[in-house]
């Protein structure tokens, strides 16, 4: 039972909401969910600003956590005292003029969550939602209920960075790796058309991204894949396979030190992959038209299964797609599988490539991409994201198992959490409360107090509304303690673009590198700040230059939070902590250094790689390198084995071998020389039996895969996109599946002869006719049914002789179409006039019979009475009634 005060507040809110949106009580009440009436970003901003004129310090993102007007009332009553509410109720809300009111659009076509809502002209203050999320304000340390996961190996390739060493160098130097689309992908002609973020049918307004080089190359022979099969395999799958091998080398799990993981079915290792861009198969149809029967494959399930097959891994193997949160969800599933005992080790990874222009065009139609080609994460210039490519894989074990097995620990996953927004104010609209709960759940699982989080790697796609919503959610959980230390917040998307499914993996690898180096890399393109963030009211700041990562003031290890949010509402968060100090136990073993490859060419390249690797290796780690090469890597038929007790001696012998000298001076230990010769003769050496105690492995030089091109045959032309003629806009034609433009001459009888109060008005039946016509073309049928029609506002002819311009937006929804009609006025004066749902009918119904209708009209009616009834509401009739 509502109190009388609450009922008055609800009535006030309903009136204000109606004034902003143009909807009346016939269309909604306090229990109607905003999603049901298609509440969009413009209306959210307008309603929030109107409320902000009555309620001070109202967060601009609060409405995304309210499902209806009743929720808004509860929020306001919880947050504000009675005096503030009474003052608001006593004020007279100013009326909104029709041309300036942001209008409600239909439910079927929600704006993407990463799309900026409107030009920023000053936001209300951003303050914590402590009233609604008070339980999340601060977390005291609790025992971890799930257990810790060790990262024992990792590898990745990112724009301008073929390995993790160069990736860290670029991050530390603040390198921006976003470029124009490479010429070898597709030509810009016929694809790109400059625009300030406005949709252009069949074209992209973005020509920028972070790209990998050599994606056409793959070492098919190494993995036993036939050349023809390799050319038809999605390059994302191939990159993941090579990256997984290098990650397993990084974890030293490819040699006999991994025997404890082996079962009769294969190694007890799971594979969990995130993948969302599957465009390689789109290259097929253009080839079929030229007579090429080859079918390029994009099969997401195969990305994980191929790794399990080629590496003989018998644990769970699956690919997940939750859009931009895919890799963190894959990481979460890997951790849960380990903790549930489904496998003893796991690989978690993701990849993202753009090999066909369709994905760019699609993202531009959704207005997700930045027209300036940069991710302005947390910046006032935020206008969408730049796409990015990359691949990354981490190798995981339960922390206790990794410590018992003597694995090298790179970092510790303290907790992972996944949730969904539930029903929000639009399918792709983010939700502050859901994000805050996600981070809170992860902190509770990790058993860490909020002030221990010393860095946030945010989703941070660079949108005016998405970034503030994320900061608001983080502030609820991490920023509510006044004495908490300052915390940097950054986004790797500002460096390499948004890697979609691989975004979370790039964020994780970046964060682990920062933990290893004890430094925070700068975040780019954030100046000036987005004023809606109100960072001065939080403990967060955006690092603009390289800086030390201080140890926690209260002791303990450095820890960070990483977020990824999927467009469909699936959110992921990870708490990662720096690796615990590992004691290097005394271990003695043979100082021999075996190197091997599939063929002589690869062996020579491996020797070159090993020489560069030695130059960076600390002298004390030389025995650990020998152990890793002996016990942690796979041994192939083409071999060399070097003996040396110092780096200088080993480098000299390696250079000697590379020069082609087969004989070298014997070492001081004839036994080691004999061991090396036995290895080079192809014998299997029980390396672990030669060690007294086993050292912790180190990062080895990685196998140099052959860079052989495996790709589809060249086309005679670029991938097909719609021609200019196909997308040209003509009057009364539907140029795409989305827009239908109509021009009504000012002197048209359609308007001039339909007058209300002496004002020419477009008849409501004209709305229906045009909407049905557009939907019929989209659905490719003339047999349709109309439902859910709403006339929001009339289209009135102005006093000038200008023609009336109308636009119908029409989009597929399930088995039908959602349509909305708007008039196109002067800039800033476009208004939505009606919307409806139109479905394809099972069959065309018979045309109505005029004769039957006439026969059904049996009651006579006096024309004079009819005229009088028309005149009462100020209608004007243009024609006389015919008897």
Lowest mean pLDDT among 425-439, 561-575, 848-862: 848-862
SS3 370: coil
Q: Average pLDDT of 443-462?
A: 96
- What's the confidence (pLDDT) of residue 853? 77
Task: Show the tokens assigned to 595.
Answer: 């190197």
Q: Which of 506-515, 650-659, 737-746 has the highest mean pLDDT?
A: 506-515
Describe the crossing of helices 326-339 and 503-517 by its angle, rounded to 10 degrees: 70
The pTM of this model reads: 0.75
* Higher per-residue pLDDT: 735 or 441: 441
| Contact criterion met (CB below 8 Å) for 822 and 771 | no
Tell me what pLDDT residue 824 has: 66
State whether the Cα torsion 306-307-309-310 is positive or negative: positive
Enumerate domains of the chain plus CATH numbers.
4-109 (1.10.1200.10), 149-578 (3.40.47.10), 592-690 (3.30.70.3290), 729-876 (3.10.129.110)
pLDDT at 106 over 90: no
At residue 611, the pLDDT reads 97
Which residue, among 299, 351, 384, has the nearest Cα to 505 in the 3D structure?
Answer: 351
CA-nearest of 58, 84, 69, 49 to 2 is 69
How far apart are the C-alpha atoms of 452 and 438, rounded to whole Å? 17
What's the whole-number mean pLDDT along residues 34-62? 77
Q: What is the pLDDT of residue 216?
A: 98
Per-residue pLDDT tens over the stretch 702-735: 999 999 999 998 876 666 666 655 555 433 333 3
Q: Could you report the per-residue pLDDT of 744-754, keeping only the tens digit for each?
A: 776 677 777 77
131 alpha-carbon distance from chain centroid: 30
Q: Is 59 a residue whose pLDDT tops 90?
A: no
CA distance 304 to 312: 12
Residues 355-396 have pLDDT tens digits of 999 999 999 998 999 999 999 999 999 999 999 999 999 999
Among 115-129, 658-672, 852-866, the minimum mean pLDDT is found in: 115-129
Classify 460 as helix, strand or coil: coil
The answer to whether the beta carbons of residues 225 and 235 sit under 8 Å apart is: no
- Which of 458, 478, 477, 480 lies closest to 468 in space, CA to CA? 458
Which string of b and e fits 792-804 if b means at least 16 CB within 10 Å?
bbbbbbeeeeeeb
Tokens linked to 145: 């209920």
Residues with Cβ within 8 Å of 255's Cβ and at least 6 positions away in sequence, in order, are: 630, 631, 632, 633, 634, 635, 687
Neighbours of 730 (CB within 10 A): 8
Q: Which has the minimum average pLDDT: 110-119, 402-411, 513-522, 568-577?
A: 110-119
Within 10 Å of residue 531's Cβ, how many Cβ atoms? 16
Write down the H helix ranges in 593-641. 600-616, 622-631
Q: In 491-631, where do the E strands start and end?
A: 519-520, 540-541, 547-548, 559-565, 570-578, 592-597
Query: Average of pLDDT values for 663-677?
Result: 82
The answer to whether 361 and 193 are in contact (CB under 8 A) is: no
Rounded Cα–Cα distance for residues 323 and 320 (Å)? 9
Q: Where is mean pLDDT largest: 162-176, 544-558, 864-878?
A: 162-176
- Residue 508 CB partners (closer than 8 Å, separation 6+): 327, 328, 331, 392, 394, 457, 562, 574, 576
The answer for residues whose C-beta is within 8 angstroms of residue 252's C-beta and 6 or more apart is 153, 258, 407, 408, 628, 631, 632, 633, 697, 700
Has residue 111 got a pLDDT over 70?
A: no
pLDDT at 200: 86
Residue 18: pLDDT over 90:
no
**pLDDT at residue 660 greater than cutoff 60:** yes
Q: pLDDT of 483-501, one tens digit each?
A: 789 999 999 999 999 999 9
Query: By the 8 A CB rule, do 60 and 45 touch?
Result: yes
pLDDT single digits (tens) 792-848? 778 777 655 566 777 787 777 666 778 888 776 543 345 667 888 888 876 555 667
- pLDDT given for residue 212 in this prediction: 99
| Average pLDDT of the residues in 594-618 | 97
The runs of H, that is alpha helices, within 164-259 are 164-173, 227-232, 235-250
> Where on the phi/psi map is residue 195: left (φ > 0), alpha (ψ -120 to 50), or beta?
beta
Alpha helices in 312-371 (DSSP H): 326-339, 358-365
The pLDDT assigned to 49 comes to 82
- Predicted confidence (pLDDT) per residue in 122-181, tens digit: 333 333 333 333 334 444 434 334 589 999 999 999 999 999 999 999 999 999 999 999
428-441 mean pLDDT: 92
Q: What is the secondary structure of 85-134 as a DSSP string? A: HHHHHHS-PPPPPGGGS-----TTSPPPTTS--S--S-PPP----TTTSG
For 845, other C-beta atoms within 10 Å of its C-beta total: 9
Question: Which range is least confidently modeled, 26-30, 113-117, 219-223?
Answer: 113-117
**pLDDT at residue 94 in the model:** 44
Taking only the tens place, the pLDDT of each residue in 632-644 is: 999 999 999 999 9
Inform me whether the pLDDT recorded for 70 exceeds 70.
Answer: yes
Percent of the chain scored above 70 by pLDDT? 83
Q: Token pair of 525, please?
A: 């393109």
**C-alpha to C-alpha distances, 398 to 256, 353, 409, 450, 494, nearest whole angstrom:** 20, 31, 11, 24, 33
Q: Which of 27-31, 41-45, 244-248 is least confident?
A: 41-45
Mean residue pLDDT of the chain comes to 85
* CA 44 – CA 42 distance, rounded (Å): 5
Q: What local confidence, expressed as pLDDT, does residue 876 receive?
A: 57
Q: If we measure between CA atoms, which residue out of 483, 470, 491 comes closest to residue 535?
A: 470
Q: What's the confidence (pLDDT) of residue 267?
A: 94
Greater confidence (457 vs 102) lies with 457
The two beta strands, 784-791 and 831-840, are antiparallel
Cα distance between residue 594 and residue 574, in whole Å: 38
């Amino acid at each position: 039972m509502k109190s009388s005060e609450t009922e008055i507040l609800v009535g006030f809110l309903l009136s204000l909401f109606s004034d902003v949106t143009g909807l009346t009580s016939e269309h909604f009440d306090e229990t109607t969910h905003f999603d049901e009436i298609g509440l969009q970003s413009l209306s959210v901003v307008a309603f929030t600003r109107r409320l902000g004129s009555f309620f001070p310090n109202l967060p601009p993102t609060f409405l995304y956590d309210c499902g209806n007007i009743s929720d808004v009332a509860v929020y306001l009553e919880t947050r504000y005292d009675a005096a503030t509410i009474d003052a608001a109720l006593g004020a007279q809300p100013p009326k909104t003029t029709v041309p300036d009111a942001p209008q409600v659009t239909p439910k079927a076509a929600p704006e993407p969550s990463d799309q900026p809502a409107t030009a920023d002209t000053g936001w209300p203050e951003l303050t914590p939602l402590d009233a609604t999320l008070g339980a999340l304000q601060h977390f005291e340390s609790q025992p971890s209920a799930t257990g810790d996961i060790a990262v024992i190996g990792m590898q990745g390739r990112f724009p301008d960075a073929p390995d993790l060493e160069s990736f860290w160098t670029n991050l530390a130097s603040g390198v921006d790796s976003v470029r124009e689309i490479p010429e070898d992908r597709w030509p810009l002609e016929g694809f790109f058309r400059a625009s300030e973020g406005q949709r252009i049918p069949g074209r992209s307004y973005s020509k920028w991204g972070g790209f990998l080089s050599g994606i056409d190359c793959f070492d098919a022979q190494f993995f036993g894949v036939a050349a023809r099969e390799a050319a038809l395999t999605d390059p994302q799958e191939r990159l993941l396979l090579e990256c997984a091998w290098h990650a397993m080398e990084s974890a030293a799990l490819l040699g006999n030190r991994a025997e404890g993981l082996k079962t009769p079915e294969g190694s007890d290792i799971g594979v969990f992959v995130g993948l969302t861009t599957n465009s390689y198969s789109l290259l097929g149809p253009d080839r079929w038209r030229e007579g090429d029967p080859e079918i390029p494959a994009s099969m997401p399930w195969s990305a994980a299964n191929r790794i399990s097959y080629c590496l003989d891994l018998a644990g769970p193997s699956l690919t997940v797609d939750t859009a931009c949160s895919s890799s963190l969800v894959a990481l979460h599933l890997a951790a849960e599988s380990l903790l549930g005992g489904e496998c003893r080790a796991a690989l978690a990874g993701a990849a993202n490539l753009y090999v066909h222009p369709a994905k760019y065009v699609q993202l531009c139609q959704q207005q997700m991409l930045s027209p300036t080609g940069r991710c302005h994460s947390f910046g006032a210039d935020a206008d969408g994201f730049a796409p990015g490519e990359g691949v990354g894989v981490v190798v995981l074990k339960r922390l206790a198992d990794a410590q018992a097995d003597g694995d090298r620990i790179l970092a510790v996953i303290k907790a992972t959490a996944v949730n969904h927004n539930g029903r929000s104010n639009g399918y792709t609209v983010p939700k502050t409360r859901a994000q805050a709960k996600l981070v809170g759940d992860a902190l509770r699982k990790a058993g860490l107090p909020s002030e221990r989080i010393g860095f946030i790697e945010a989703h941070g796609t660079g949108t005016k509304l998405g970034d503030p919503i994320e900061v608001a959610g983080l502030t609820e959980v991490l920023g509510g303690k006044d004495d908490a230390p300052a915390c940097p917040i950054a986004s790797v998307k500002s460096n390499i673009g948004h890697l979609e499914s691989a975004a979370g993996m790039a964020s994780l690898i970046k964060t682990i590198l920062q933990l290893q180096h004890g430094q925070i890399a700068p975040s780019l393109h954030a100046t000036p700040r987005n004023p809606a963030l109100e960072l001065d009211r939080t403990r967060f700041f955006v690092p603009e230059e390289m800086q030390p990562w201080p140890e926690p003031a209260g002791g303990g290890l450095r820890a960070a939070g990483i977020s990824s949010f999927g467009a469909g509402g699936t959110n992921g968060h990870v708490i990662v902590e720096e690796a615990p100090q590992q004691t290097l136990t005394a271990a003695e073993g043979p100082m021999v250094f075996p190197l091997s490859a599939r063929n002589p060419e690869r062996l020579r390249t491996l020797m070159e790689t090993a020489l560069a690797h030695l130059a960076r290796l600390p002298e004390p780690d030389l025995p650990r390198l020998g152990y890793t090469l002996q016990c942690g890597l796979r041994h192939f038929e083409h071999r060399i084995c070097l003996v040396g007790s110092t780096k200088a001696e080993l480098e000299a012998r390696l250079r000697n071998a590379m020069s082609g000298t087969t004989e070298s001076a014997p070492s001081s230990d004839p036994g080691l020389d004999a061991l090396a010769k036995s290895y080079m003769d192809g014998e299997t050496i029980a390396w672990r039996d030669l060690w007294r105690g086993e050292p912790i492995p180190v990062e080895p030089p990685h196998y140099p895969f052959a860079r052989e091109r495996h790709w589809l045959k060249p086309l005679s032309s670029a991938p097909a996109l719609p021609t200019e003629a196909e997308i040209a806009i003509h009057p009364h034609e539907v140029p795409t599946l989305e827009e239908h433009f109509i021009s009504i001459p000012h002197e048209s009888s359609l308007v001039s002869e339909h007058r209300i109060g002496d004002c020419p008005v477009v008849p409501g039946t004209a709305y229906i006719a045009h909407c049905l016509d557009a939907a019929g073309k989209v659905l490719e049928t003339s047999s349709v049914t109309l439902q859910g029609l709403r006339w929001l506002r009339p289209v009135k002819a102005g006093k000038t002789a200008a023609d009336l311009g109308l636009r119908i937006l029409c989009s597929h929804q399930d088995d039908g179409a959602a349509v909305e009609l708007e008039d196109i006025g002067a800039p800033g004066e476009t208004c939505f006039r009606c919307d409806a749902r139109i479905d394809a009918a099972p069959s065309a119904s018979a045309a109505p019979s005029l004769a039957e209708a006439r026969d059904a009209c049996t009651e006579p009616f006096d024309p004079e009475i009819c005229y009088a009834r028309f005149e009462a509401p100020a209608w004007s009739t243009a024609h006389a009634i015919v008897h």
